[in-house]
Amino acid sequence: MAPLSVALSWFAYFYEEYLGFVQFIIRRWDRVIEYTFNHFSLVLTVMFFSLILWISVGLIISRYEKLASTAFGIGNILFVIPSISVFGIFITIPMLGLGRTSAALALILYAMMPMVRNVYRGIKSVEWPIIDAARGMGMSARQILFQIQIPIAWPIIFAGIRVTVVMITGIATVATFIGERNLGRFIHHGIARESADMIIAGAVIVSVIAILLDYGLGKIEYKITSPGLRRE
């Protein structure tokens, strides 16, 4: 019985020290659901507008090379600015202030760099002989873009989307400092109260959401990618 009692004591110690956040999640289940829903809805809102805006920008700069360096320069500058600073700038703008609008706009800016770069790289990865052959068959520039270039570039474009989703899911936790009620509140309040359970609970849930979103997008990518371009 001695080995069993030792094993049970070690399990109890491990549970108390490292899995206490499970008890915290159970006790605050209603708050966990609320913050998880808010976090998830913020990420979806940001990605909806980012897809429309930054894919369009990526396609435009792939046509006009002079704009590419400017767009990448702006994207690099935005990407290296600390997220808390960007959030702080937006709350000082009249009619925005604290809350979701400022958080969403800041996160949309952060989504620029990975999405625009991957769209540009994907379109440019299509070899010229393929485009020339399509022109020789009488296809218009619009047909070449939507029927040739985008389908071939889709794996690269979608890789940028997946990276952006995971990145935005993580950065969204910082939006709690400007009034957003999401999972970042657990981390923020946990640091303020020196509660490891709150910090770990927030971090674990955010990580699970990011992993599930990435996994789901991977399945979608496989389904909508041409069989000849799939990476098994």
pTM above 0.95, yes or no: no
Q: Of the CATH numbers 3.40.190.10, 1.10.1040.10, 1.10.150.120, 1.10.3720.10, which one belongs to the domain with range 22-229?
A: 1.10.3720.10
pLDDT value of position 92 = 84
pLDDT value of position 161 = 92
Per-residue exposure over 33-45, b if at least 16 CB sit within 10 Å of its own CB, e if not = eebbebbbebbee
Nearest to 208 by CA among 55, 32, 80: 32
- 118 exposure class (CB count in 10 Å sphere: 0-12, 13-18, 19+): buried
Instruction: Give the model confidence (pLDDT) of 11-35 as tens digits.
Output: 555 555 556 677 778 888 888 899 9
Domain range list for the chain: 22-229
Instruction: Give the model confidence (pLDDT) of 174-216 as tens digits.
Output: 888 887 888 888 888 888 887 878 888 888 889 999 999 999 9
Instruction: Give the model confidence (pLDDT) of 65-120 as tens digits.
Output: 788 888 888 888 888 888 888 888 888 887 777 878 888 998 999 898 889 999 99
